[in-house]
Amino acid sequence: MESLLDPFQYLFFQKGMLVATIAGALCGVVGVYVVLRGMSYIGHGLSHAIFGGAAASSIISFNYFIGAGLWGLVSALMIGKVTRRKVIGSDAAIGVITTASFALGLALFATFGSARKSVDAVLFGSILGVSSTDIWALVGMSSFTAAVLVLNYRPLLFATFDPDVAAVSGVNTARVDALLMLVLAGSILVTMKIIGVLLIAALLVIPASIARLLTNSFARMLSYSGVIGALTGATGMYLSYHLNVSAGASIVLVGAVVFVVAFGATTMKRQVVVVG
């Protein structure tokens, strides 16, 4: 029993548990819109795009959150604009914008090797090295996201489900889309240092996908996804201590296991219903 509670005696672990839980819930909720809008690739690409901003901010010793945040927002708006046009495939356009930004980040880190933030920390995350500023940024972004999603619940749902009819029915879909991109970019920004660029897309997609398997209601999917994100974040963080693997990988693997279980259970349930 003592060994189970062992990690909680360390302050770094307590902080890690807190950020993993909040980041899981935040990405879980935002991920619902990402998954239902078929934007999983945008979430993945955006984290790579923000990497370029993180590198540039680090090189010129500019505030990480402001520099990478602005970079991410511009990338998100560009991606949003590109996805509305259908001249070339949106996936190809996203690939161009985000991989170019990612490549720029790598080039900047390679050229100015004395940069304070290492490439590894940004790529794979360092949940145990989070500062108080990082925690406050995460809490602030989570509060902002909650406010945006609550105040714009119906327009966001309408524009996600049926954008054409929403526009005709008086919903300012351009504003709603921009707001969602802002929330997505901000969420990636504050969780990127925790889970890392390479795994953040999983944090956005897995809880929402599990929640989708469990319910046919949008409101319930939102709440389930937030709770699943928080629980997998906390469980993954806890297991990472005992299994001695990186927190980011552990969180994503816990999410993947839950997804497999949920998928198996819902498939079996459906078969039972069909046979019965």
Partner 1 sequence: MSVALVAMHRVSCAYGRDRALEDVSMVVEPGDFIGIVGPSGCGKTTLLRSILGTMQPCDGQVVRRERLKIGYVPQVETVDWQFPVTVREVVSMAKPTSRWSPWSTREERSTVDALLERLGVGGLAHRHIRELSGGQQQRVFIARALLRAPELLVLDEPTSGVDVRTRHEMLHLLAELNEPGLAVLVTTHDLNGLAAHLPHLMCLNRRVIAAGAPRMVLNPRVLEATFGAPMAVLEHAGMPLVVDDYTHFNDQLFRTKEA
Where along the sequence are the contacts to partner 1 (CB under 8 A)?
36, 149-151, 153-154, 157-158, 161-162, 164-170, 212, 215-221
Q: Provide, rounded to whole angstroms, the least separation between the CB of residue 93 and partner 1.
A: 19
Residues 6+ apart with CB under 8 A from 3: none
Q: Do you know the residue count of the chain? A: 276
Q: Provide, rounded to whole angstroms, the least separation between the CB of residue 168 and partner 1.
A: 5
**Sequence-distant contacts of 137-143: CB under 8 A, at least 24 apart:** 137/65, 137/189, 137/190, 138/19, 138/22, 138/23, 138/26, 138/190, 138/191, 138/194, 139/22, 140/190, 141/26, 141/186, 141/187, 141/189, 141/190, 142/22, 142/25, 142/26
| Cβ proximity of 208 and 225 under 8 Å | yes
Q: Provide, rounded to whole angstroms, the least separation between the CB of residue 273 and partner 1.
A: 12
Question: Which one, 49 or 156, has the nearer CB to partner 1?
Answer: 156
Q: Provide, rounded to whole angstroms, the least separation between the CB of residue 178 and partner 1.
A: 18
Spatial separation of the C-alpha atoms in residues 127 and 248, rounded to whole Å: 8
Q: Provide, rounded to whole angstroms, the least separation between the CB of residue 226 and partner 1.
A: 14
DSSP assigned state of 9 = G
Question: Which one, 147 or 245, has the nearer CB to partner 1?
Answer: 147
> DSSP letter string over 104-156?
HHHHHHHHSTT-SS-HHHHHH--GGG--HHHHHHHHHHHHHHHHHHHHTHHHH
Question: Which one, 219 or 268, has the nearer CB to partner 1?
Answer: 219
DSSP assigned state of 199 = T
Question: Which one, 112 or 153, has the nearer CB to partner 1?
Answer: 153
DSSP assigned state of 63 = -
Q: Provide, rounded to whole angstroms, the least separation between the CB of residue 146 and partner 1.
A: 11
Question: Which one, 99 or 266, has the nearer CB to partner 1?
Answer: 266
Question: Which one, 62 or 218, has the nearer CB to partner 1?
Answer: 218
Question: Which one, 160 or 246, has the nearer CB to partner 1?
Answer: 160
